[in-house]
Each structure stands twice: as structure tokens, then as C-alpha cells.
Amino acid sequence: IIKSTTEIIKYNNSPVKTEEDRFSKPKPPTAAVPPEVRSEKAHQDDMHKPTNEGKGDTGKPAVSVLLEGFNKQKAVDLLYWRNVKQSGAVFSSVLLLLFSLTQFSVVSVGAYLALAALSATISFRIYKSVLQAVQKTDEGHPFKAYLEIEIALSQDQISKYADKILLYTNTCMKELRRLFLVQDLVDSLKFAVLMWLLTYVGALFNGLTLLILAVVSMFTLPVVYEKHQAQIDQYVGLIRTQVNSVVGKIQAKIPGAKRKEE
């Protein structure tokens, strides 16, 4: 009895192997692998890993890449004619579109542009199909690369531009409220004079003519200012001094028109 009791106590104190421990294979010690073999294996694993270097923004939609690529510096280079071909193409295209709108309606101009684009693409597609049939080649659709480009805007892009539009809209509304409710008498008088001058401008030109003049000024005045900056700054300074003196005299005569010192 004492012997059997001793054997039972030894059996209970011994570590019991679970089913996973019995069937699991022993892991080889890491020290058994030479360091040269481990470094070579790690180098091979790094070579087999897919890398995204050199791919650029292929995963982004084309519209997002285009909007991100066109920043303030690109606009300045365009207006200052840094690239003559690019600036000339944009300038001539915008002017041609605006002159077309002066002769035809917006619907007609849009329809003619769509017909011109469709005529070009359909003719090119038929030409490539005939060429493939004659030469017995299998090149596929000529616009296949462009059809596979993603052009959808992402939710983040829409939210970003919507926030900018909302910010500009709120700023304009606050400024108009300040001017029309005469928060500052001088600023409201300046705004009234500007609107009075625009009545004469509107009697001489329509909206499209003003837009054409604005486009021509955008592509000509920056270049002229860059070449004759010193003389233009001198004359602008004289004009500004005269305007400030006239405004100061008006403020002195009109009660309540003096600005509060900040």
C-alpha cells in the first residue's frame, strides 16, 4: 500500500504533456544557423518582396493627379510665359472659346466642340481598324490605355475642395454684409464708387468682352510688369499717394468717416 501510494504521488507531481506538446515538432535553435546563411536568406527575402518604387501615383485617379499637379507655381509659370508653347496653347484655346461664345450660344459652342472631338476620335478609330485589317495585326483598341485610366474623384478630394469653396463663400458673405450694412463708412463709400463705375463699364462692354479683356490682361500684364517693374512701381506709388491724400481729405470732412485706431 505504501509503495503504491508513493508511485501515485510521483505520477501527480510529474509534468503532464498536452496533446499539442506531444505532436508538435521541436524547433531548431537559432544559434545552429550560421550568421552568413541568415544574412543571405534575409537578402533573398528582401529581393522577393514587391516594391512600389518608381511606380509614382499610378493608383491615384487621373483627375486627382492633374489637380494636385496644377498648383500656384504652375499658374505663375503659365502667366509669365516660362514655357512659350504651353502658355501659347492655353492662351489661344481660351481666347478661341471666348470669341466663339460671343458669336454663338453656349449650347451651340458645346455641341460644336463635342462634334469636333467625336469626329476626330471616330475617324482615328476607323483608320486604325482598317490599318489593322490590312496589315493583319492585333493591336486592339487604339484608346485602350486611356479607357483604363481611373478618372473618378475620391471622397477626400471632394471634401478638400468642398471645404475650400465653403471657406471662400463664407468669407465673401461676411464681407458683403460688412459693406452693405456700413460697418465701416469709408469702405462702404469705396464700394459704392466701384459699383457706380461698373455701371458705365457695363454700358460699354458685356460680360464676355470683360472676360476676354481679363484673360488678355492676365497673359500680358505680368510679363510687362516683370520687364518694367521699377518704372511701374514708381508711377503706382505716386497714384497711391494721391489717392490716399484725397481719401484723407474726404474722411476729414465727412463726420463719422474716420477710422478707429487699432
Q: For residue range 211-243, list pLDDT tens digits in order.
A: 999 999 999 998 898 888 888 988 989 998 988
What integer pLDDT is reported at residue 258 of this predicted model? 54
Decide if 205 contacts 213 (C-beta within 8 A). yes
Give the confidence band of 54 by pLDDT, cuts at 50, 70, 90.
Answer: very low
What integer pLDDT is reported at residue 60 of this predicted model? 58
Mark out the alpha helices in 14-150 (DSSP H runs): 19-23, 35-48, 62-69, 72-79, 84-103, 106-135, 144-147
Position 97 pLDDT exceeds 80: yes
Decide if 152 contacts 63 (C-beta within 8 A). yes
* Euclidean distance between CA atoms 30 and 44, whole angstroms: 18
Poorest-pLDDT segment among 138-147, 175-184, 222-231, 250-259 = 250-259
Give the confidence band of 37 by pLDDT, cuts at 50, 70, 90.
Answer: very low
More confident residue, 148 or 43: 148
Decide if 65 contacts 57 (C-beta within 8 A). yes
Position 64 pLDDT exceeds 80: no
Decide if 61 contacts 150 (C-beta within 8 A). yes
What integer pLDDT is reported at residue 148 of this predicted model? 86
Give pTM, 2 decimals. 0.56
More confident residue, 49 or 83: 83
Share of the chain above pLDDT 70, in %: 70
Query: Which candidate, 66, 87, 64, places its Cα nearest to that of 75?
Result: 87
